[in-house]
Amino acid sequence: GAGVSQSPRYKVAKRGQDVALRCDPISGHVSLFWYQQALGQGPEFLTYFQNEAQLDKSGLPSDRFFAERPEGSVSTLKIQRTQQEDSAVYLCASSPVGLAATYEQYFGPGTRLTVT
């Protein structure tokens, strides 16, 4: 079946522009995560949704970052007034279960954001 998909795969933004990154999780998956992966580093947690509820946004680096999942399926990560330090790969992952359960997180291919 279809895996997690993300779009666009690549995004170049001028400093100060706003960007929106989309994640389509596996159909029926309850949990959705956003991670940021800087070059040569491991993914770092940004935010977590269980269905449409954003239960954890402790990893969002500033108030320029905003995420939503209004209908409990597709999610959008928005970055306002992009800065060079925002350049990274943004990974989305989904899981069929909610909190208090251990299950594989299935990752999307990521969106590589370059801020010039």
Count of all residues that appear for the chain in the document:
116
Binding-site member from 18, 52, 85, 104 for another protein (CB under 8 A): 104
Cβ atoms 20, 8 nearer than 8 A:
no
Residues within window 60-79 making contact with another protein, judged by CB under 8 A: none
Q: Can you tell me the distance from the alpha carbon of 75 to that of 73, in angstroms, rounded to the nearest whole number?
A: 6
Q: Is 40 in the site for another protein (CB under 8 A)?
A: yes
| Distance separating alpha carbons of residues 18 and 58, to the nearest angstrom | 21
Q: Does 41 bind another protein (CB under 8 A)?
A: yes
Interacting span for another protein (CB under 8 A) from 12-20, 51-59, 63-71, 74-82: 51-59
49 vs 39: CA distance, rounded Å: 25
Residue 18 or 104 with smaller CB distance to another protein: 104
Residue 5 CA to residue 54 CA, distance in Å, equals 20
The residue type of 22 is R
Q: Binding of another protein at residue 87 (CB under 8 A)?
A: no
Asked whether position 49 contacts another protein by CB under 8 A, the answer is no
Closest CB 88 distance from another protein, rounded Å = 14
> How many other CB atoms sit within 10 Å of the CB of residue 11?
18
Binding site for another protein (CB under 8 A): 4, 31, 33, 35, 40-45, 48, 55-56, 59, 91, 95, 98-102, 104-110
